[in-house]
Structure 1
Amino acid sequence: MAAQQGHAELTHIPADAIEVWQETGPRRVRQALAAELEKLGFQNPRLAAIHLMVLTQRVSAAFCTGTMSRNGKGLRHRAMHTDTRVDDYIAGLPEWQQDICREVRRLVHEADPDVEETIKRTNRPYFVLDGNICALLGTKDHVNVMLYDRAIVPDPQNIITSGHGNKTARMISVYRDQPIDAPALVELFRHIIADNRLRKSVGPRR
């Protein structure tokens, strides 16, 4: 249906306008791309250029519509794996703590779309992927972000505030009106996830 509609709309555009668009846009790009592919030794650089342009157009469309994951694993919708119990926990906190928790929640899912949520230790939100990544705990005057990094993940921006000698988890304490270093936190999450996957692939020590 969409293709038929697009074709019908295309018939209303003057042929000379389409030719100008082709010459200044796609055709020009295709010719330049074919020339570069020929230098690389492609037997049919013109056809290879056409295929490459079609492929990149599909990938761009997939990203724009949200149907491709960040890691490029196929064309499919990637929604956050949320848990309503985590929603309930956050909703019970003061408003400023809710904002912090929602921001951390968004960032851990940004680190990897396969991250899942659960509740442990009665009511504490945990974010997991092949193992624990982090947990949230609202206190009287700040929010603790527990990082299950086994004290081995690098922290070049020094955002970890305590637990430096803890071999299980370290902690970031975020206070009211304190900005979160989002890029640094996402990078920490990704390091933890990578370590979890590595340990899972190796298996338990004997």
Structure 2
Amino acid sequence: MNDEVTQYISNTAPWQKEICEKLRGMTHETVPVVEERLQYGKPHFLKDGHHVAVIAVARDKVSFMVFNATDIPAVKGFIRAMGKGDRKCADFEEGQEVDYKALAEILEKTTIAL
């Protein structure tokens, strides 16, 4: 675990901290060899030098973005396409339920070929 990532998560609102810690744990569990670092001011997760996910916290939400996700379909209200569709992002607001299992399945699919 990276101390800068820990500090980033610690400086968020309690509800955001809970989501970030669970996303972080889910990422490490899903991709056991994942490395983490603070890059561009946000926690980034890498496998063999390739970006696989990033957590971003804004005032009213937590976002979890996965890379290499061209083959992952966007699902209205759950995960949206970004860029040219090679990245997918899920946003969570306070009180919203997070489907960590579904996110783990997506992460597993996007990292299997790396």
Give the equivalent residue in structure 1 for 2:84: 166
Number of matched pairs? 113
Please tell me whether the aligned partners of residues 127 and 133 of structure 1 are also in contact (alpha carbons under 8 angstroms): yes
Q: Per the alignment, do residues 157 and 143 of structure 1 end up closer, same or farther by CA in structure 2, a change over 3 Å counting?
A: same
Question: CA–CA distance in 2 between the matches of 1:176 and 1:139?
Answer: 11
The two structures have a TM-score, normalised by structure 1, of 0.50
Task: Within 5 Å, give how 1:142-181 maps onto structure 2.
Answer: 142-154=61-73, 159-160=78-79, 162-163=80-81, 166-181=84-99
Residue of structure 2 in register with 1:128 after alignment: 46
Partner residue of 2:35 out of 110, 113, 116: 116
More helix by share: 1
Output the aligned Cα RMSD.
2.1
- Counterpart of 1:152, as a letter, is D
Q: Unpaired segments of 5 or more residues in structure 2?
A: none
What displacement does 1:173 show?
0.3
Superposition map of 1:16-165 within 5 A: 82-121=1-40, 123-130=41-48, 131-154=50-73, 159-160=78-79, 162-163=80-81
Where 2:9 maps in the other structure, the secondary structure is helix
Instruction: State the partner residue of 1:78.
Output: none
| Unaligned 5+ runs, structure 1 | 1-81, 198-206
Q: Which has the larger radius of gyration?
A: 1
Relative CO higher for 1 or 2, CA cutoff 8 Å, sep ≥ 6? 2
Amino acid in structure 2 at the alignment position of 1:178? Q
Whose strand proportion is higher, 1 or 2? 2
Give % identity. 25
Q: Report what 1:201 is aligned to.
A: none
Using structure 2 for the length normalisation, give the TM-score. 0.87
